[in-house]
């Protein structure tokens, strides 16, 4: 006998501002027999190079997610009815030891995915992408990566440290856990240390769609190019919220002018419908620098869209709406 998924608290009966702040007011993982999709937080920001505060993001994004509703018209799916989605709480990581924190995230992410549960992770800084990629690679082998970010995050070291929020994707390539035929940055912009940054990034296998490219080409052309590069490979999507312009995401640690709009980001994500998505994260929300919860709201919608994409079948992209 199939049990119907347990969905969010009914907001027509209990006000959105009342009750525990699980993501989208979903049940906790310990309140359901198992979950097809789990939302997990990683309150960690020891890897940041400028403004700290992303350790407080999981709580802020959950609070902002209270306003999410159960039907997604853009993808024509009711994700919380199509699959059992639950909030797995936070992974408690050591804030003083980056190496131990990385090991903890990898171990806990692997444990949560052991029965086939897919994870949508709320960071935390971008350091956590490395252990999350390690965990999905254990199940799927090297994965395609779609990386939304103002920055490349393929630098070698900061102050001699190999593990920071600016190095996870270089380490992932070096460890052989990503498919170097299908790596893409989207939304990059701003000054670099030198032209060599781009040359080394290209050598690692990444293709780049800058925020200016998105403006000039538009969402549809961008999506087509990304889908061709990804193909049917298992895909991990990592979203640094600073991919958005500071007007749309002021609450982040390393803001850069000239970014994408939240509308562009969400539409590109929706264009991934039908791809073999195996994991995703949204990171680098720093609530202390936010205004009127703009950044946390954007991040909650990114997580909601990732969940919705997980619940779609693999028949192909959504039909164009008229």
Query: pLDDT tens, 24-79?
Result: 999 999 999 999 999 999 999 999 999 999 999 999 999 999 999 999 999 999 99
Residues 318 and 270 sit within 8 Å (Cβ to Cβ): yes
Q: What is the predicted pLDDT for the residue at 319?
A: 43
Residue 7 pLDDT greater than 70, yes or no: yes
Q: What is the predicted pLDDT for the residue at 2?
A: 60
Residue 314 pLDDT greater than 60, yes or no: no
- Per cent of the chain over pLDDT 90 is 92
Q: What is the predicted pLDDT for the residue at 313?
A: 59
Q: What is the predicted pLDDT for the residue at 159?
A: 92
Helix (H) or strand (E) holding 298: helix 294-311
Q: What is the predicted pLDDT for the residue at 167?
A: 97
Q: In which band, very low, low, confident or very high, does the pLDDT at 12 lie, cut at 50, 70 and 90?
A: confident
Helix (H) or strand (E) holding 317: none
Residue 22 pLDDT greater than 60, yes or no: yes
Q: Is 133 exposed, middle or buried (0-12, 13-18, 19+ CB in 10 A)?
A: buried
- Per cent of the chain over pLDDT 70 is 96
Can you give the pTM of this predicted structure? 0.95
190: Cα within 13 Å, side-chain hemisphere: 20
Say how far apart CA 199 and CA 267 lie, in whole Å.
Answer: 29
Say how far apart CA 309 and CA 76 lie, in whole Å.
Answer: 10
On average, the pLDDT of the chain sits at: 95
Helix (H) or strand (E) holding 152: none
Position of tokens 């701003």? 190
Q: In which band, very low, low, confident or very high, does the pLDDT at 281 lie, cut at 50, 70 and 90?
A: very high
* Local structure of residue 119 (DSSP, 8 states): E
Residue 322 pLDDT greater than 50, yes or no: no
Say how far apart CA 282 and CA 196 lie, in whole Å.
Answer: 28
Residues 16 and 25 sit within 8 Å (Cβ to Cβ): yes
Lowest average pLDDT, out of 8-17, 108-117, 278-287, goes to 8-17
Q: What is the predicted pLDDT for the residue at 315?
A: 37
């Amino acid at each position: 006998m199939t049990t119907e998924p347990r969905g969010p608290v009914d907001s027509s009966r209990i006000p959105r501002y009342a009750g525990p702040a699980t993501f989208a007011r979903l049940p906790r993982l310990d309140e359901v027999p198992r979950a097809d999709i789990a939302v997990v937080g990683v309150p960690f920001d020891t890897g940041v190079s400028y403004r700290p505060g992303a350790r407080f993001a999981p709580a802020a994004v959950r609070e902002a997610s209270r306003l999410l509703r159960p039907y997604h018209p853009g993808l024509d799916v009711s994700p919380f009815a199509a699959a059992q989605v639950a909030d797995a709480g936070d992974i408690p990581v050591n804030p003083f030891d980056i190496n131990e924190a990385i090991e903890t995230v990898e171990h806990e992410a692997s444990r949560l995915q052991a029965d086939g549960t897919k994870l949508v992770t709320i960071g935390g800084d971008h350091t956590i992408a490395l252990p999350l990629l390690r965990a999905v690679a254990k199940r799927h082998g090297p994965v395609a990566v779609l990386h939304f970010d103002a920055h490349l995050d393929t630098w070698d070291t900061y102050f001699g440290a190999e593990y920071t929020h600016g190095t996870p994707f270089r380490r992932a390539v070096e460890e052989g856990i990503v498919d170097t035929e299908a790596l893409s940055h989207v939304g990059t912009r701003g000054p670099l240390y030198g032209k060599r940054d781009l040359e080394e990034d290209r050598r690692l296998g990444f293709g780049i769609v800058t925020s200016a490219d998105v403006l000039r080409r538009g969402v549809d052309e961008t999506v087509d190019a990304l889908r061709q590069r990804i193909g049917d490979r298992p895909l991990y999507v990592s979203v640094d919220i600073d991919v958005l312009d500071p007007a749309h995401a002021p609450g982040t640690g390393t803001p850069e002018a000239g970014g994408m709009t939240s509308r562009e980001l969400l539409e590109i994500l929706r264009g991934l419908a039908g791809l073999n998505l195996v994991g995703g994260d949204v990171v680098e929300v720093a609530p202390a620098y936010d205004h009127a919860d703009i950044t946390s709201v954007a991040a909650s919608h990114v997580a909601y869209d990732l969940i919705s994409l997980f619940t779609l079948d693999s028949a192909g992209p959504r039909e164009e709406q008229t």
